[in-house]
Each structure stands twice: as structure tokens, then as C-alpha cells.
Structure 1
Amino acid sequence: MHISKKEVEVRYAETDQMGVVYHANYLVWMELGRTQLIEDLGFRYADMEKDGIISPVMDIEISYKKPLRYGQKAIVHTWIDHYDGLRVTYEYEIFTDEQELAVTALSKHVCVKKSNFRPISVKKLYPDWHAAYEQAKKD
């Protein structure tokens, strides 16, 4: 299984009145993690969008373990948990810069045509991408 790593500096604007990262910002960091994973595998999500294909979120699960604060770094680990040629489930662990687990999460996606939101087969439309995902979940 290939695990991608993305470091994110916690910015002041990402914190709430309690001085900890506001919960919705973790979703943004998860997107950064997915993007890094895709790039690690040799692809760019933006190229797929140029073809009129998007990958909306179908489901999100997130569990907060330890707060992150301004001035710390978040390290986002991302990998493919499930992939069937149509749908993909990414899993995440977000750590503090002291290597303490702050968040566990998963997001489920499907690739669709932007024009009509009908699902497409990644296996058929992007065979190289499909092969990379199959290999990444095995590594």
C-alpha cells in the first residue's frame, strides 16, 4: 500500500476561538492529501477535470483525537483503502509535528461526467490511472 505524506503549516486563520484548528479545515487538508497521492502516482486531478470528469465526495467520516494549534505542522498521511474501477475510498491519518495522531478519516468518491453527473469507468477511460490505483492499494 502506497502512503502519501503531505506537510501543512497550521495558519492562524485556520484556528477557532479556542486556539485550535477549526474542524472543517481538516477536510481541506484531506484534499491536499488526495492531491499529493495522485501526484505521487504520476497524475494530476486537474487534467481529469480538463476532460470534463470530476470526483465528488459521496461520504466523509472523521474522528478527532488531538487538537492541532497555530504554529504546529500537520502531517497528512493518505492511502487508497478501496478501489473498484468506479469508486475509491481514501483513508487519512493526520499527525502533529510531534508524531501524535490528531485525526483519522476516510472519504468516498466516484468519478462522474461534469455535464450530467453520470458515473464513468476509470478502468476504461483512464487505464493508466486505474493500473496505478490497483498497484498503490497493493504496495
Structure 2
Amino acid sequence: MFISKKEIEIRYAETDQMGVVYHANYLVWMEIGRTQLIKDLGFSYAELEKRGIVSPVVDLSISYKRPTHYGETVTIKTWIQENTGVQTSYAYEVVNEQGEVCIEATSRHVCVNKEDFRPIIVKRVLPEWHKVYEENKYKVEE
């Protein structure tokens, strides 16, 4: 299993009146983590879109464990939780400088044709992506 890591310096604009990172900003950070994972695996989401394929979110789950604040640096860890060839689930952890988990999250995506939003079979249309995702996804210990 490959885990991508991306540091994020928390900006003032990402916090609410209490000085805590506003919850919706974690969605943006998840996208940053997912984009970094794709890059680390040797691909480009922008290139995927140029090929007429997009990957919308179809399910999302976030569990908030502890707050993060302006001025802190956090690390978003991202990995492939599941890959069926039609759907991919990514998992995330945002970890603070003390190594404490601040959020745990998952997002599920389906690759679709940009023109008509019909699902594509990644194994057939993007065999190189499918192979690398299979090689790097989470594996249950046996």
C-alpha cells in the first residue's frame, strides 16, 4: 500500500471565528491530497480531463477527531482504499505536528465520460491507471 503525504500550512482564511479550521476546508485538503497521490503514482488528473474523463465524488465521509488552527502545519495522508475498476475509494488522515489524527475521511469516485457522464470501465479505458492503482491499493492483512 502506498501512502502519499502532503504538508499544508493552515492559512488564516481557512479558519472560523473561533480560530479553528472551518470544516469545509478539509474537503479542499482532501482534493489536494488526492491530486498529490495521483501525481506520486505518475499520473495527472489534468491530463485525464484532457482525455474527456472526469471523476466526480459519489460518496463522502469525514470524522472530525480534533481541531486544527491557524499557524499550524498539518500533513494529509492519502491512499487508495478500494479500486473496483469502476469506482475508487480514497482514504485520508489529516495529522497535526504532534502526530495526532485530526480527521479520518473517505471519498468514493466514479470515472465518467465528460460529455454524457456515463461511467467508464477504468480497466479497459485506462489500463495503466488500473494496474498502478491495483499495485498500490490498501491490502487487508491475511
Structure 1 Cα separation of the partners of residues 73 and 22 of structure 2: 14
Secondary structure of 2:123 counterpart = helix
Give yes or no for the alignment of 1:117 onto 2:124. no
Structure 2 Cα separation of the partners of residues 123 and 69 of structure 1: 41
Can you give the 5+ residue segments of structure 1 that lack an aligned partner in the other structure? Answer: none
Which structure 2 residues correspond to residues 1-139 of structure 1 after superposition, within 5 A?
1-137=1-137
TM-score, scaled to structure 1: 0.98
1:47-99 per-position Cα deviation (integer Å, ceiling 9, x unaligned): 00001100000010001011000000110000011101110000001001121
Q: Provide runs of 4+ in structure 1 moved above 4 Å.
A: none
Secondary structure of 1:66 counterpart = coil
Secondary structure of 1:28 counterpart = helix
- The code of the aligned residue for 2:74 comes to A
- The code of the aligned residue for 1:72 comes to E
Percent pairwise identity: 59
Offset, 1:138? 5.4
**Over aligned residue pairs, what C-alpha RMSD do you find?**
0.9
Structure 1 Cα separation of the partners of residues 39 and 16 of structure 2: 31
Structure 2 Cα separation of the partners of residues 132 and 126 of structure 1: 10
Structure 1 Cα separation of the partners of residues 50 and 23 of structure 2: 31
Structure 1 Cα separation of the partners of residues 118 and 33 of structure 2: 25
Structure 1 Cα separation of the partners of residues 130 and 13 of structure 2: 37
Question: Is the Cα–Cα contact under 8 Å of residues 20 and 68 in structure 2 kept in the other structure?
Answer: yes
TM-score, scaled to structure 2: 0.96
- The code of the aligned residue for 2:89 comes to T
